[in-house]
Amino acid sequence: MIGTLKVLEAAKALKAERVVFASSASVYGTPQVFPISETVTISPISPYGAPKAASELFLGSFEENHGIEAMSLRFFNVYGPRQTPSQYSGVMSVFGKRALNRQPLQVFGDGSQTRDFIYVSDAVDMTVAALERNLKSRVFNIATGNETTILEFAKIMQRITESRSDLKLGPPCTGDVARSVADITNARNELGLVARTPLDAGLSATIRWLAQEGGTKRADQHTIRERS
C-alpha cells in the first residue's frame, strides 16, 4: 500500500495521464453471487486483499483530486513460467514441482473449491490494453470466466506430467474461499480482449519451464505431454 502511494505521488509530480493498478480478486472476500462482477461490494478477508482494496480507494481519491486517470485490474489466479510459490499464489508451481518429482500433491479441504486460472501472457495482453485505453474510474476482472476445482487442477497436472504422485486431502485452510469465478463482460467489451490460452496448454508450457529451470529431479522433458 505504501508503494502504491509512492507511485501515485510520482504520477502526480510527473503529470502522468493514468495509473493502472495491479489489484486482486482477493478484494472480493467471499461473495455470494457468481460469476463475480466488478459491481459487488468488496470485502477482503485476507491480509493480502485488505491493502489491495485500500489501494483502490487511494487511486480513486487521486483521480478525483488530481485528475489522474485511475484503473484497477483485479487479477484472478495468474499462473505461468517463472512463478514462485507463496502463501497467496503459486499452487501451480508447488503442484508442478511435486508432480515432476513424484511427490504427493497436498490438496487442502476436499478439493471442491474453485479458482479462475488465467495464463500469464493473457494477463499481460489485458494489462497492455488497459494502459492504452482512455478510461477513468474503471475496474476490470482479469480472468477467463471459467472455474476449475483444485482437485481437477491437480489431476490435470498428474496427466500432463504422467506422474504417479498421490493426491492427499488435508484439513481446509483458514479463510480459504470456496468458489471463485469472474464475470469478464467488462474486460471483453471495453478492453476488447478475452483469454485465449486453454488451461491444458498453459500448464504444459509452465511444466516444461519447471522441468528445465526449476531444479527438479525429474527433468526429462520428453515425459511432459502436450495437451491443448
In our burial notation (b when 16+ CB lie closer than 10 A, e otherwise), range 85-111 reads eeeebebbbbbbbbbbeebebebbeeb
Is beta strand 105-108 parallel, antiparallel or unpaired with respect to 167-170? parallel
Is beta strand 114-115 parallel, antiparallel or unpaired with respect to 69-75? unpaired
Tell me the residue type at 102.
R
Contact call for residues 120 and 81 (beta carbons, < 8 A): yes
First-to-last CA distance in the chain? 39
With H, G, I as helix, E, B as strand and everything else as coil, classify residue 38. coil
Sign of CA dihedral 120, 125, 128, 133: negative
Active-site residue identified among 28, 48, 79, 88: 48
Q: Which residues contact 152 (CB under 8 A, 6 or more apart)?
A: none
User: What is the total residue count of the chain?
Assistant: 228
Distance CA 178, CA 102 (A): 28
User: Active site includes 48?
Assistant: yes
Q: Which residues are the active-site residues?
A: 48
